[in-house]
Amino acid sequence: MKKRIVLYKRLPEALLARLQQQVEVTWVDTSGSDGLARLRDALPGAHGLLGASLRLDSSLLDLAPQLEVVASVSVGVDNYDVAELTRRGVMLTNTPDVLTETTADTGFALILATARRVVELAGWVRDGHWQANLGPAHFGSDVHGKTLGIVGMGRIGEALARRGAAGFGMRVLYHSSRAKPEVEARYGARYRTLDELLREADFVCLTVPLSASTEGLIGARELSLMKPEAILVNIARGRVVDEQALLAALQAKRIRGAGLDVFVQEPLPARSPLLQLDNVVATPHIGSATHETREAMARCAVENLLSALAGQRPANLVNEV
């Protein structure tokens, strides 16, 4: 008899067909006010879950005593209580490698857009204000030859370092849980304490995973260490930054600007004061949002799930059970 999985993220037709050949698939649309109730109804008897952007707590897990694997279509696993899944003997998998380059592209897009004031000035042109040659009031700042500070030298951090060093001739600094001699050799990167990096970098790019040690990592004190002309770019998680402290720093022009793809509350409310600032470029969590990457992530999640249900060790196992 086929094992049963609950799918709560839409998949390309070919991947869905592959799943249906090997397991019984129950599709649940978790959008809307009754989405969680529909999921709760579907959980009893489930051997696997496949989806993303849903916080799985103990009350939901209690409804699926036969659960063997949760396959997340994401690299981040902050929506999951990893310790609780491990205690229950449930495997958790993610999709790390396939989104590295795309997310690094997003980070550099935010660096360029913020430094060169692309969004602000494109809107200025669209509104009919371009009536004469630009003056200093509308100038941006160079990216090439500047100092790129990367907080979190994992896969995405290294991809950013490569773009900065090889593509833009940037001096690369990094802060991470440990020194990375191989990255230093490849890109001339130099390790710094967090405070040192904040003081020296022209662009501070956050790529750390969200954890107890990184939540609120960048607050008022850290922002005060940055250069007045520095730009903060966050492609990690919203809660890595104290948003109110960032707002105050941006309003007071204590830093030049921010490029933000992630926020404490997502979707970002239309009334957010961040959206009232010309020195903020805000994007709707598009780090991995390309057709090619999202399909590759879904394929990876399907392979993880099927491998786990077949009694094998998935390639991207987060926890050891």
Query: Of 47, 117, 175, 237, which one is the catalytic site residue?
Result: 237
- Whether the CB-CB separation of 143 and 163 falls below 8 Å is answered with no
Q: What are phi and psi of 195, to 5 degrees?
A: -65, -40
Which residue is it, tokens 């249900």?
309
| CA nearest to 209, candidates 314, 77, 310, 17 | 77
Burial (Cβ within 10 Å: 0-12, 13-18, ≥19) of residue 125? exposed
CB atoms within 10 A of CB 12: 14
Active site residue 229: no
Active site residue 237: yes
- Whether the CB-CB separation of 6 and 28 falls below 8 Å is answered with yes
Q: What are phi and psi of 286, to 5 degrees?
A: -100, 15
Active site residue 222: no
Query: Of 192, 285, 294, 299, which one is the catalytic site residue?
Result: 285
Query: Of 84, 182, 229, 266, which one is the catalytic site residue?
Result: 266
Chain length of the chain: 321
| CA nearest to 209, candidates 176, 160, 242 | 176
Which residue is it, tokens 């040659």?
133
Angle at which helices 291-309 and 13-22 cross, to 10°: 0
Catalytic residue annotation:
237, 266, 285
